[in-house]
Amino acid sequence: MALMVKKFGGSSVANAERVFNVANIIIEDYKKGNDVVVVVSAQGDTTDDLIAKAKEINPSGASKREMDMLLCAGEQISIALLAMAIEKLGCPATSLLGWQAGFQTNSTHSLARIKRIDPERIRNELDKRRIVVVAGFQGLNKHDDLTTLGRGGSDTSAVAIAASMHADLCQIYTDVDGVYTADPRKVPKAKKMDQITYSEMLELASLGAQVLNNRSVEMAKKYGVQLEVLSSLEAKPGTIVKEKVTMEKMLISGVAKDNNVSRIAIVGLDDTPGVAFKIFNKLAQAKVNIDIILQSVGRDGTKDITFTVTEDQAQEAVEAIEAMRDVLTFKSVSADNSISKVSIVGAGMETHPGVASKMFEALSDANINIQNISTSEIKISVLIDEKDADRAVIAVHDKFID
Amino acid sequence: MALMVKKFGGSSVANAERVFNVANIIIEDYKKGNDVVVVVSAQGDTTDDLIAKAKEINPSGASKREMDMLLCAGEQISIALLAMAIEKLGCPATSLLGWQAGFQTNSTHSLARIKRIDPERIRNELDKRRIVVVAGFQGLNKHDDLTTLGRGGSDTSAVAIAASMHADLCQIYTDVDGVYTADPRKVPKAKKMDQITYSEMLELASLGAQVLNNRSVEMAKKYGVQLEVLSSLEAKPGTIVKEKVTMEKMLISGVAKDNNVSRIAIVGLDDTPGVAFKIFNKLAQAKVNIDIILQSVGRDGTKDITFTVTEDQAQEAVEAIEAMRDVLTFKSVSADNSISKVSIVGAGMETHPGVASKMFEALSDANINIQNISTSEIKISVLIDEKDADRAVIAVHDKFID
């Protein structure tokens, strides 16, 4: 007998048929004698529909407290429906809102952090052998106001419950059956991994392989919660995410592509000290998130600085730089949205030299031009032309994984 | 400066335009320096949509606890949107769920009774000169589970807040501009009343003039909360409901019609003691609500008992009686749905003889046959053929009110 936490996303409970599918998965484990806590998101497009209603009232953005009040209704609907379906199938179930499940957060509406969980009510219900269905994504601050954890917050809710209750396993159900070495829709030879480390998962998530929310992986790592990513549509084992993988390590654990990249190039900067500080300080003030930074070697007393941002922040970034003409001398600043970032991730990289050259060889063989390179301990990213991205992923993937 | 409680129904907040209309009404009184607490129902068809979702999961009816969890999401959406609209118009507002507003109820899910209200949070927000928007219809039981007060519960929520906070006035906004002497869509000469007593309002409501929920009027009467029924679409005074009306009394305060009436006739009953008890005890067990009871004088050792129920309970009532063949001797039992109940209500009736005869004269003049008569202290009801009902209301109304 184990304590299992299961999390289902919005698409898994989008309609009555899927709600019953989820209910059956839950009941199967419950009937084996396990204690089951389920975390669900709002149904399908509910959250988007509610956001649209708010936009109608205030197109420039309503207060975050009221947005949280509004959005929390979404999970409230889905937990009630799922509990009804479980009961309809003959098993006892109790739905709990975030605050009823004991989620206490700080007061940062729309991006609240969980401060602590008091799982007493959950435990009481489990002691009565009831299945507990908890609203993900939401909590309560010290003023008794509803808060939300931000998009993807339901993953975090599930991991937080698993951590606070010392659950044996936290299962994240999605529409894929695990974590792959690359996007299986794009790379025919992509392989499902049986196990992956937290660190690798974090790098993959930040590279656009949006299987798991990053905050939830960080929390799982911090509290040692064993995760499993698996399919809500097929009954088969998924991918286990944990501290150390016991199986033989592959050199790399995944290849990811991110098209939502804009490269900002500032050309002809005065090659004087403090230039980079000025630029990135200004961008931080403008709340522009920088990903990769590349600085060319100075030449003729000038240098170039290149960095990447998400495409929706490109315009802001360019404007912020242009506004610095009085304190900064440079020739031009421009944004290029036609690039992609292709990355490989693998804990094995740290101990195996030659990974980078193998990646570059794959790209060279495929006749793909590398525009920029950025590396970290367990990751290598290259910027290439967007139109080459899918070919690049396949070429790199097949070089490392067969 | 006064403390005003304002209640708006679902149709008043059905879309963004109407939400802003309501926000403007609220702000007008707020800007005069009043403290304003607003109670709202779920938007338009939200409650019906949520009920349909539950029916999809469990057509034979989900658990009431989970239904309450589901339905409470409806008001949560409307309070957030209304608070956003008020803020968009430049005034500070805070939305509060039933439990945040301090509504403590018993545990009868779907038909909970309010046990007490702790309005501390409401008062704190008012002290900060904020407009408080409260979710009607909902509360919390002692197990920290959400409960609902039943249909029309938002009226009760508003009156309960007004009672607990000693508000100066509780305004119930509807799509009519007050309480009329008859349905103005049917009776051209119907007049809006400036004032009406709680007792008259209760009788009118129970007669099918569904302007105010009966429980809310009872509560207002008990705690002496002055009500006003007024339009959310036109800015003009409505009808004040209070203990004693100060203006000169009209003989009758209203004429109402109810088509949702079925007359059950049990014919040829043994005229022995205890027969009526047996019948109505059985019907009470079957949870059939009886309205009017008429018992004919015994003749040839038999008598007839006639009573009325709502049409949806007619079949149940007949079956319950048929099932008593072993303990009850009677010739036949049948239901007749083709009748209407037309009633006049007026506190003045108690002191003015001749009201009944004046009503019968009006019906006689209109050539309408009276099938049964039932009277109470401030009400006279007649059962007539359904097809005559509209004519009857006009004839009676014009006899008393000009």
Q: Among partner residues A57, A83, A146, which is closest to B81 by beta-carbon distance?
A: A57
CB contact B70 to A (< 8 Å): yes
Placement of tokens 């008091």 in the chain: A118
Q: Report whether A134 contacts A140 (CB < 8 A).
A: no
CA-based nearest residue to A62, from B113, B168, B81: B81
CB contact B100 to A (< 8 Å): yes
Q: Which residue has the higher pLDDT, B69 or A275?
A: B69
Q: Among partner residues B20, B53, B66, which is closest to A83 by beta-carbon distance?
A: B66
Q: What distance in Å separates the CA atoms of residue A87 and residue B309, rounded to the nearest whole number?
A: 34
Angle at A158 between CA A156 and CA A164, to 5 degrees: 95
CB contact A72 to B (< 8 Å): yes
CB contact A69 to B (< 8 Å): yes
Conformational region of residue A220, where left means phi above 0, alpha means psi within -120 to 50, and beta covers everything else: alpha
Average pLDDT of the segment spanning B67-87: 98
Read off the pTM: 0.80
Q: Report whether A325 contacts A307 (CB < 8 A).
A: no
Q: Which residues contact A67 (CB under 8 A, 6 or more apart)?
A: A51, A54, A109, A110, A148, B80
- Closest residue in A to B68 (Cα) is A80
Q: What distance in Å separates the CA atoms of residue B2 and residue B30, rounded to the nearest whole number?
A: 10
B80: chain A residues, CB-CB within 8 Å: 54, 66-67, 69-70, 73
Q: What distance in Å separates the CA atoms of residue B166 and residue A315, rounded to the nearest whole number?
A: 56
Q: Which residues contact A232 (CB under 8 A, 6 or more apart)?
A: A8, A12, A18, A21, A22, A25, A173, A174, A175
| B84–A19 CB contact, under 8 Å | no
| A58–B100 CB contact, under 8 Å | no
DSSP 3-state of A253? coil
Q: Among partner residues B56, B63, B79, which is closest to A69 by beta-carbon distance?
A: B79
- Closest residue in B to A20 (Cα) is B57
Angle at B29 between CA B28 and CA B30, to 5 degrees: 95
Average pLDDT of the segment spanning B120-148: 97
CB contact A53 to B (< 8 Å): yes
Report the mean per-residue pLDDT for chain B.
Answer: 90
| B87–A66 CB contact, under 8 Å | yes
| B80–A100 CB contact, under 8 Å | no
Q: How far from each other are the two terminal CA atoms of chain A, in whole angstroms?
A: 38
CB contact A267 to B (< 8 Å): no
CB contact B297 to A (< 8 Å): no
Query: So what's the pLDDT on residue A392?
Result: 93
- Look up residue A128 and give its DSSP letter: T
Residue A178 C-alpha, separation from nearest chain B C-alpha, in angstroms: 29
- Closest residue in B to A125 (Cα) is B143
Per DSSP (E only), the strands in A232-324 are 239-242, 254-270, 293-295, 302-309
CB contact B54 to A (< 8 Å): yes
Three-state SS string over B200-240 comes to HHHHHHHCCCCCCCHHHHHHHHHHCCCEEEEECCCCCCCEE
Beta bridge partner(s), residue A154: none
Q: How far from each other are the two terminal CA atoms of chain B, in whole angstroms?
A: 38
ipTM over 0.95: no
Q: What distance in Å separates the CA atoms of residue B26 and residue B1, rounded to the nearest whole number?
A: 14
Tens of each residue's pLDDT in chain A, 402 residues? 899 999 999 999 999 999 999 999 999 999 999 999 999 999 988 999 999 999 999 999 899 999 999 999 999 999 999 999 999 999 999 999 999 999 999 999 999 999 999 999 999 999 999 999 999 999 999 999 999 998 779 999 999 999 999 999 999 998 888 888 888 888 888 888 899 989 888 888 766 666 788 889 989 999 999 999 999 988 899 999 998 776 555 667 888 888 999 999 998 888 777 788 888 888 888 888 888 887 776 667 788 888 899 998 999 999 999 999 988 889 999 999 999 999 988 877 766 667 888 888 889 899 998 888 887 777 888 899 999 999 999 999 888 876
CB contact B76 to A (< 8 Å): yes
- Mutation site, A17, A22, A40, A63, interface B, largest B CB count within 10 A: A63
Query: So what's the pLDDT on residue A57?
Result: 97
Mean pLDDT lowest among A161-165, B56-60, B111-115, B184-188: B184-188
